[in-house]
Chain A
Amino acid sequence: MVRALTLADGRLGLSAATLLSGTEDAVALSATNISTDAVIVTLTFSRAGSTARRLVRVTLGSGESLELKGLPLQPDDVLYGQATATNAVDYVVTGRSSGRLAVVVLDANGALKVA
């Protein structure tokens, strides 16, 4: 069976909604703030139907992106996402993500955000 490369896409809503489920793969996610205001993005993960656990909560400035990669999912796991403003954060989830787990934020110029 050929595994899909591009798995899901959309815009984050105000409440936690399923971004991806029913896959068995390591995935990568890109979430970009396309609005002119700062938005808080929260990603949570439910393993095998258990309580959703927070993976990350970040404030994205205008034009900033949250990049997550190397996150394994199984068919009964669910990745959820939400934002503090509707129609402000585009997301794309892709499969076959290799390498170790990493979470970073890129600024509006594409540079790694460092404290």
Chain B
Amino acid sequence: MARTLTLADGRLGASAGTLLSGASAPDGKVQVVLANTGDSEQIVLLTFRLAGSTARRIARAVIEANGSAVVTGVPLQPDDTLLGQTTSADVVDYLVTRGEGDFSVTVLGADGAVQSSDTNAAATVTQTVDGTSLQAVEDATVHRKLDEMLVHLARLVELAELQALRMR
């Protein structure tokens, strides 16, 4: 069966709204492109809720008018939720797709220039702070996968024991 590559799209609201969750989540990494279609600066926040727990911020970006931001390498499982919000509703378009690679946040100005710490301090802060929090998310994801494998292993052992009993 072909995997769904393009997962969600829409416009961010002024309060945190779900971009992707539940059955739509791919059990893999996703990437988000955000475009400010308005004529004023927007502060975009992306947060992540791991298995129904408290939402944690993973990215904060200041996107100037007609600028864009690209967030990549966000791990997501079916019971996780990716949320997003911005300063003003209905001016920031987003598209969520499957992705690969490490976590990164890149903010582009309206002239296509990558924003540096000199002109956009928030983007730099985001990469430092959220690189750490994403590592925690990835660690938790690995732990959950290990737990799932242990459950499967226990079931296999039970089945093997049952089979052995039947053979006697």
Q: Which residue of B lies closest to A54 (CB)?
A: B35
CA distance A100 to B99 in the complex (A): 6
CA distance A101 to B104 in the complex (A): 10
Beyond A57-B68, A100-B100, A101-B33: 17 further Cβ-contacts under 8 Å?
A45-B95, A47-B6, A58-B68, A58-B110, A59-B111, A59-B112, A60-B112, A61-B111, A64-B112, A70-B99, A71-B97, A74-B4, A103-B68, A104-B112, A105-B111, A115-B119, A115-B120
On whether the beta carbons of B33 and A103 are closer than 8 Å, the reply is: yes
On whether the beta carbons of A100 and B114 are closer than 8 Å, the reply is: no
Do A100 and B102 contact each other (CB < 8 Å), given the known contacts A53-B95, A115-B109, A115-B119? Answer: yes
Q: How far is the CB of A50 from chain B (nearest CB, A)?
A: 6
Q: Which residue of A lies closest to B102 (CB)?
A: A100
Please report B residues at the A interface, Cβ cutoff 8 Å: 2, 4-6, 8-11, 31, 33, 35, 37, 66, 68, 70, 72-73, 93-95, 97-102, 104, 106, 108-116, 118-120
CA distance A74 to B114 in the complex (A): 28
The answer, among B10, B31, B102, B115, for a CB contact under 8 Å with A53, is B10
On whether the beta carbons of A45 and B5 are closer than 8 Å, the reply is: no
Do A57 and B66 contact each other (CB < 8 Å), given the known contacts A103-B106, A105-B111? Answer: yes
Q: Which residue of A lies closest to B35 (CB)?
A: A54
Q: Which residue of B lies closest to A100 (CB)?
A: B101
CA distance A36 to B99 in the complex (A): 36
CA distance A59 to B66 in the complex (A): 10
Chain B residues with Cβ below 8 Å from A72 are 5-6, 97-99
Chain B residues with Cβ below 8 Å from A51 are 9
Q: What are 14 residue pairs bridging A and B, where the CB atoms are less than 8 Å apart in the complex?
A: A47-B6, A50-B9, A55-B93, A57-B35, A58-B68, A72-B99, A100-B104, A101-B31, A102-B70, A103-B33, A104-B112, A114-B113, A115-B115, A115-B119
* Interface mask (A65-77 → B, CB under 8 Å = 1, otherwise 0): 0100011111001
